Amino acid sequence: MASFKFIPFSFFYIALLLLVGFASAEDPFATYDLVVSYITASPLGVPQQVIAVNGKFPGPTINVTTNYNVVINVKNKLDEELLMHWSGIFMRKNSWEDGVLGTNCPIPPKWNWTYNFQVKDQIGSFYYFPSLHFQKASGGFGPIIVNNRAIIPIPFDTPYGDITIMIGDWYTQNHTALRRALNSGKSLGMPDGVLINGKGPYRYNETLVPDGIDHETIEVHPGKTYRIRVSNVGISTSLNFRIQNHNLLLAEAEGSYTVQQNYTSLDIHAGQSYSFLVTMDQNASSDYYIVASARQVNQTTWQKVTGVAILHYTNSKGKASGPLPDPPSDEFDKTFSMNQARSIRWNVTASGARPNPQGSFRYGSINVTEIYVLRNEPPVTINGKRRATLNGISFVNPETPIRLADQYKVKNVYKLDFPNKPITGPPRMETSIINGTYRGFIELIFQNNDTKMQTYHLDGYNFFVVGMDFGEWSENSRGTYNKWDGVARTTAQVYPGAWTAVLASLDSVGVWNLRAENLDSWYLGQETYIKVVNPEDSSNKTELPMPDNVLYCGALKKMQKYELLFSYVYTFALFHISLASHSQHVLDDRSFLSPGHKIYLLLHRLWAMVHNSFSLCCYC
């Protein structure tokens, strides 16, 4: 049993107050406290254990602006280790805060840890989720919004409101039961339903939907235009999103403004996020259905796996009734969906996070420095275990995170030898990663030789989706690449029996996760990392320093001597800086502060002095 010894930190507190006078008005701070715990909920009418954030499912929105410094204190009230990942946030030069096992040691139960990062040079719609132990299957996710700075106009009229919708497949078993099934070599089978904002379907059909299920209702004003951000936070199911009788004007995909096009529905694959502009231009004779239904499946078998919410005009005269709006009629024909994906284009004239147009980065004229053809196959058995592979390699997470091993020169943790094409021998389990070239331009070709849809995500960067087609990729496939306005995003789908090609500029030093977004494939080893080092930077100026509050594990676990009270002290200090800097304090899970990033570094240096001098919360 751990016992704790506390010492007064008045010196620390006084010094912090002195530093308030030096706070600059460069890039503001936003602070959040996220408490991750279990609750009992019944989203599909069956009581089950769900992971909540601050008692909410889904969790609260992280709402910040380009270049904000974001401080998030995460308290782990689960009975197992936790890491929170910020999907789509670049973590420029700061993979230390990425929240995956290649860069971070887990947060033990009943501990807290403070993430500190800057949303540098990006805008858009993203989400956070727990990245360990299949926990995402039980929840723990929530939206992230990165707004444009006031000096950079958005490429459309300011919407009347901003609405966030999280869709995803759902099982009535919790993540530990699903994890056991995967560990025993079983597949998960068909999900039990689809949730919209953590709630089950509206009872549009008394046979398919049982009574007593709570559904989501979104209230809108007639004649107004809303920005509706939609993320597929599910395990693996591709979902078609549509709103009855309303056009979806696509405006953004994971941080890139797109050419604005109307869709009656859009396929949103696991891990993907979009923004739509939706005008409430229908009559108010009744409410309207919001639908998320499974794609490329037998609709009769999967009929119950449909999420249904309600769009309610403030002057609506009746409830929604009748059949749901039809999905695309291509149940077993994936051509429609692929053509729809190809139609999504980058808005080259719009400004994103910077004043210059997005298209000023001429990705199509940059020479490729390295090429990786990444092939996935159906799950295989390796050493008696069911595993998923890329190029015949099933990734094994090391006990010591890769980035931490490099920092302390721990040997034999990983191999820098990930193959650039499928291996010819039998599949194997290894901790093998990609050796990326700093400021190189990498071409990744995802070849899906499985029978189900896959999506892939790269941390640390966005990539340009330049091509996709059915069949095997070849050198001649480059003749079909879009080298002008392929959308830049962080997650791309790969259709069964097809390939998708992306290009990425490796301009941020760090260790970056490349993974399948299908949670079962990821859990079974379909991932690797790209290590990017600046060989000319002996003083390490192109990467942020290791955080003072870093957690230790694996070969370095003996270095972990303290439970880090710093998270609480730091948040407490920021609260007082906020009071000193503003007459008004925001009380919606966040506080916007004026000091720039320099104050953060000063605080961390001060903490290092205190940390080295005293034993705070020492385990005895």
Q: Is the pLDDT of residue 386 over 80?
A: yes
Q: How many domains does the chain have?
A: 3
373 shares a domain with 315: no
Q: Is the pLDDT of residue 12 over 70?
A: no
Task: Report the alpha-carbon angle 136-138-142, nearest 5.
Answer: 60
- pLDDT value, residue 330: 73
Q: Is the pLDDT of residue 13 over 70?
A: no
216 shares a domain with 117: no
- pLDDT value, residue 333: 76
208 shares a domain with 116: no
- pLDDT value, residue 586: 35
Provide mean pLDDT across the span 412-421: 98
- pLDDT value, residue 239: 97
Provide mean pLDDT across the span 105-117: 97
In a domain, 42, yes or no: yes
Q: Is the pLDDT of residue 399 over 80?
A: yes
In a domain, 350, yes or no: no
With pLDDT > 90 as the criterion, what percentage of the chain qualifies?
A: 82
Provide mean pLDDT across the span 310-320: 97
Cβ pair 330, 267 in contact under 8 A = no
Provide mean pLDDT across the span 329-347: 90
- pLDDT value, residue 296: 84
505 shares a domain with 574: no
Provide mean pLDDT across the span 465-484: 98
In a domain, 351, yes or no: no
Q: Is the pLDDT of residue 245 over 60?
A: yes
The 3-state DSSP class for residue 601 equals helix
507 shares a domain with 401: yes
With pLDDT > 70 as the criterion, what percentage of the chain qualifies?
A: 86
- pLDDT value, residue 603: 55
The confidence band for 582, taking pLDDT boundaries of 50, 70 and 90, is very low
| Residue in 359, 396, 175, 130 with CA at minimum distance from that of residue 258 | 359
Place of tokens 């051509």: 335
CA atoms within 13 A on the CB side of 530: 28
Cβ pair 395, 442 in contact under 8 A = no
Q: Is the pLDDT of residue 549 over 60?
A: yes
Provide mean pLDDT across the span 375-386: 97
Please enumerate in sequence order all residues whose Cβ is within 8 A of that of 443, keeping only pairs 6 or more positions apart, or say none.
368, 370, 371, 372, 501, 502, 503
- pLDDT value, residue 15: 43
Is the bond preceding 58 in cis, omega lying within 30 degrees of 0? Answer: yes
**Which of 481, 516, 533 is the last residue in one of the domains?**
533
What is d(CA 551, CA 553) in angstroms, rounded to the nearest whole number? 7
- pLDDT value, residue 329: 80
Q: Is the pLDDT of residue 266 over 50?
A: yes
Token output for 193:
């339903």
**Which of 510, 533, 556 is the last residue in one of the domains?**
533
Q: Is the pLDDT of residue 246 over 60?
A: yes
Place of tokens 């190029």: 391
Token output for 180:
């056991």
Q: Is the pLDDT of residue 613 over 60?
A: no
- pLDDT value, residue 298: 82
More reliable by pLDDT, 609 or 102: 102
State how far Cα 213 lies from the chain centre.
28
- pLDDT value, residue 573: 55
Burial 78-104 (b: 16+ CB within 10 A, else e): beebbbbbbbbbbbbbbbbbbbbbbbb
**Which of 533, 549, 583 is the last residue in one of the domains?**
533
- pLDDT value, residue 538: 74
Per-residue pLDDT tens digits for 67-106: 999 999 999 999 999 999 999 999 999 999 999 999 999 9
338 shares a domain with 378: no
- pLDDT value, residue 601: 47
Amino acid at 321: S
Beta bridge partners of 29: 69, 593
Per-residue pLDDT tens digits for 360-376: 999 999 999 999 999 99
Lowest mean pLDDT among 300-314, 511-525, 568-582: 568-582
Q: Is the pLDDT of residue 6 over 80?
A: no
CA atoms within 13 A on the CB side of 471: 7
Provide mean pLDDT across the span 192-205: 98
Cβ pair 255, 122 in contact under 8 A = yes
315 shares a domain with 278: yes
Q: Is the pLDDT of residue 466 over 90?
A: yes
- pLDDT value, residue 576: 52
Provide mean pLDDT across the span 457-474: 98
The 3-state DSSP class for residue 19 equals helix
In a domain, 21, yes or no: no
Q: Is the pLDDT of residue 561 over 70?
A: yes
Provide mean pLDDT across the span 426-448: 98
In a domain, 376, yes or no: yes
328 shares a domain with 394: no
- pLDDT value, residue 562: 63
Token output for 532:
């990017």
In a domain, 278, yes or no: yes
What's the mean per-residue pLDDT of the chain? 89
- pLDDT value, residue 541: 85
In a domain, 305, yes or no: yes
578 shares a domain with 529: no
Q: Where are the beta strands (DSSP E) in 148-233?
A: 161-170, 193-196, 217-220, 225-232
313 shares a domain with 259: yes
128: domain range?
A: 27-153+564-595
From edge to edge, which strands make up the β-sheet containing 288-294?
217-220, 306-313, 288-294, 239-243, 266-268
The confidence band for 565, taking pLDDT boundaries of 50, 70 and 90, is low
- pLDDT value, residue 370: 98
407 shares a domain with 294: no
Per-residue pLDDT tens digits for 208-229: 999 999 999 999 999 999 999 9
CA atoms within 13 A on the CB side of 191: 28
Cβ pair 131, 85 in contact under 8 A = yes
Task: Name the pTM for this structure.
Answer: 0.90
Place of tokens 């999420």: 307
CATH of the domain at 195: 2.60.40.420
In a domain, 556, yes or no: no
493 shares a domain with 383: yes
